[in-house]
Amino acid sequence: MIWLTWRQHRIEILIMGLILLAIAAVLLATGLHIEAEARNITICLSRHTDCLAEQAALDNYINQLTGNASFLVLGAALPVLAGIFIGAPVIARELEQGTHHMIWTQGISWQRWLLIRLGFLFCVVLCSFGILFGLLTWWSILAAGAAKGNWSIDFSTHFDGWGVVLIAYALFALLLGIFAGTVLRRTVPAMAVTLIIFVLVRVLIVNFGRPYFFPPMTMTTPANSGLQIPAGAWIFNIALVDRQGHPLPDDALQACENLLSSVPPTNAEQAQYDHCITEHGFQYKATYQPADRFWPLQGIESSIYLFLTFILFALTFWWIKYRIIGNTVRFSLED
C-alpha cells in the first residue's frame, strides 16, 4: 500500500521535494555568506578598526533578503499548494474514476487503505515542512546574531512564514484537500474549494482570532512626547484621544501645531505648543501585542489548526463510512 501510494503521488511529492531543495539551497548559501561576513566583521573589530560600513552593508543585505517577496510568500503559498496538489486528488481521483470499488475488494479493508494512504502523505508533508521550519530557524539565528540587534523575527513579516505555525498550516491544508475531494468526488472542484476555504479560514483567524488570543496591551502618552512602543511589537492601532480616551479627528492637533511657525521652533513656541497639548489633553493611544508573545501566539494558532486537522480527519472517515460505503451497500440491497 505504501508503494502504491508513492506511485500514485510521486510526481506531486517530487515537485514538493524540488521546491524544498531550492529553498534549502538559497537558505544555506545566504546563511553561510552571512556567517562568513559576520566572522570578518568580528575580526575587523578585534583589530580596533572602524567596521561600521561593513556592518551596515550586512544589515542591509539581511533586510533585503527577508523583505523579498519570495520569503514572504512561504507562509501563504506552500501550505495551500500541498493541500491543492497532494491532498485534493488523494480520494477524489479514486472516486472519480471508480477504482475505489476494486481497491476495497482486494483483501484490504477501506479503513486500512485510508489509514495507510493518509498516514504516508501526512508524514511526507510533516517531514517536508518540519525540515523547512528547521532551515528557517537556523537561518534566522544566524541573521539575528550577525545583524547585532538590527534584525529579528517579528509579527509584521515573519509570523506566517517563519514560525512553527507553518507546519500546522500545511497539515490543515492537506486534510482540507482530502476531505474536499471525499465530499465532492471530483479533483478539480476539490482543488478550488480547498483554496477558497483555506484562504477564508486564514483570513478569519488572522483578523478575528490572532489579535485576541491574549488581551492586547495599550500605551497612552502625551501627543508631544512620542510613543515608545517596544521593538518588534505587533501594532494594531495608533489613535489620537482626549483625557477620557475618546477618539479625536486627525486635524484636532492643528490648533496647537499652528503655534510652531519656526523650523526648528523657538523655545517660546515650543513652550506654547506643550501648554496647548496639556491644556487640551491630547494623547496618543497605541494598541499592540508585545514581541515576547510571538511564540505563545504561534503555539495557540498552531493548536487551532491541528485541532481543525483532526476534525477533518474524523469527518473524512465518517463521510466514507456513512455517505459512500453506506450508500453503496444500500443501493446494492435495493437492486
Residues 328 and 280 in one domain: no
Strands (DSSP E) contained in 43-156 are: none
pLDDT computed for residue 18 by the predictor:
85
The pLDDT of residue 335: 46
Residues 185 and 327 in one domain: yes
Bridge partners of 288, per DSSP, are 217, 235
Burial 105-142 (b: 16+ CB within 10 A, else e): eeeeebeebbeebbebbbebbeebbeebbebbeebbeb
Joined together, the cell numbers standing for residue 205 give 483567524
The pLDDT score that the predictor gives to residue 203 is: 92
CA angle 306, 309, 311 (to 5 degrees): 115
152 and 8 in a common domain: yes
Tell me, yes or no, whether 181 and 280 share the same domain. no
List, in order, residues 6 or more apart from 313 with CB less than 8 Å away.
118, 175
User: Structurally, how many domains does the chain consist of?
Assistant: 2
Listed residue (155, 152, 147, 167) closest to 74, CA to CA = 167
Q: How far apart are CA 149 and CA 63, in angstroms?
A: 12
Query: Same domain for 298 and 188?
Result: yes
Is there a single domain that holds both residue 179 and residue 87? yes
Is residue 221 left, alpha or beta, with left meaning phi > 0 and alpha meaning psi from -120 to 50? beta
Show the CA angle centred on residue 5, arms to residues 7 and 13, nearest 5°.
70
Are residues 235 and 201 part of one domain? no
CA 175, CA 99: separation in Å to the nearest integer?
21
| Residue range 131-179, pLDDT digits in tens | 888 888 888 888 877 777 676 777 767 788 888 899 999 999 999 999 9
Packing angle between helix 187-208 and helix 74-82, nearest 10 degrees? 140
Extract the C-alpha cell encoding 158: 515573519
- My answer on whether 64 and 109 are in the same domain is yes
Looking at residue 111, what is its pLDDT?
78
> Would you state the pLDDT for residue 334?
44
Pair (226, 121) in one structural domain: no
- Express each pLDDT in 25-54 by its tens digit: 888 888 888 888 888 877 877 777 777 787
pLDDT of the chain, 335 residues: tens digit per residue: 565 665 666 777 788 788 888 888 888 888 888 888 888 877 877 777 777 787 788 888 887 787 777 766 766 788 998 899 888 888 888 777 766 555 655 666 777 778 888 888 898 899 989 988 888 888 888 887 777 767 677 776 778 888 889 999 999 999 999 999 999 989 999 999 999 999 999 999 988 888 889 998 888 888 877 777 877 788 888 888 888 888 888 778 787 888 777 777 788 878 888 888 888 888 888 888 888 888 899 999 999 999 999 999 999 989 888 877 765 544 443 44
Q: What is the DSSP letter of 105?
A: T
At residue 309's C-alpha, the angle toward residues 185 and 164, to 5°, is 130
* 239/167 same-domain check: no
Same domain, residue pair 308 and 274: no
> Residue 118: which domain range?
2-208+293-334
Q: Are residues 147 and 245 in the same domain?
A: no
- Closest by CA to 313, choosing from 171, 100, 160, is 171
Distance CA 333, CA 335 (A): 5
